[in-house]
Chain A
Amino acid sequence: NAGVMQNPRHLVRRRGQEARLRCSPMKGHSHVYWYRQLPEEGLKFMVYLQKENIIDESGMPKERFSAEFPKEGPSILRIQQVVRGDSAAYFCASSPPPGGYEQYFGPGTRLTVT
């Protein structure tokens, strides 16, 4: 059973460009969580999604950031007009229904904004 997959593993964007980060949960998992880890800082929760629904986006910056988890396909974290402060590791986690705190994390996407 493949684990949580994230791509790309490394992404370089210039300031002002858009970044799209993809997350494919483990088979049978319908709950996805996104976290961000800034350099030398801890992991911060961003958003929690189920298929086609955003359940909790309390940790998501109000502007430029959005997330979706469509009926088919991976979950997408989208960052518009990136700035240097968006440089971080972005981790996705998944859990089986009904959701919960036993979450399985992917390897992360390291975003560098130049």
Chain B
Amino acid sequence: DAKTTQPPSMDCAEGRAANLPCNHSTISGNEYVYWYRQIHSQGPQYIIHGLKNNETNEMASLIITEDRKSSTLILPHATLRDTAVYYCIGVISGGGADGLTFGKGTHLIIQP
């Protein structure tokens, strides 16, 4: 699985878009990028995933660069409840033969 690099922390004002970057320069052609978040003391929550096309769902948008070496998770209108640690994870496609490998993630703090 590709090594991912994320900033340790970020601030964002409530109501603004939160843009969380992830670098995955060693990603291979069949590796997906998955995003999870963990709100304090809760279980992780799946957000979104993608391979090479941009993706959007009710929670967020995922923008993957054309060379696939980096991506950005966008929370369009951040609320205080979006304060959490966000994890970017690279995984090989073909099913979950292994578990998820969580790094240190980005601690996103939404400021009122």
Contact = CB atoms under 8 A, between A and B. Distances in A.
Interface of A: 4, 31, 33, 35, 42-48, 55-56, 58-59, 89, 91, 93, 95, 98-108
Given A104-B46, A105-B45, A58 B98 contact: yes
Interface string B84-112: 00000101000111111111110000000
Quick one: which of B41, B43, B96, B105 has the most chain A CB within 10 A? B43
Contacts, number: 68
B24 interface: no
A58 B102 CA distance: 15
Nearest to A34: B99
Main secondary structure of the interface of B (DSSP, over half): loop
A103 B38 CA distance: 13
B98 A43 contact: no
A56 B105 CA distance: 24
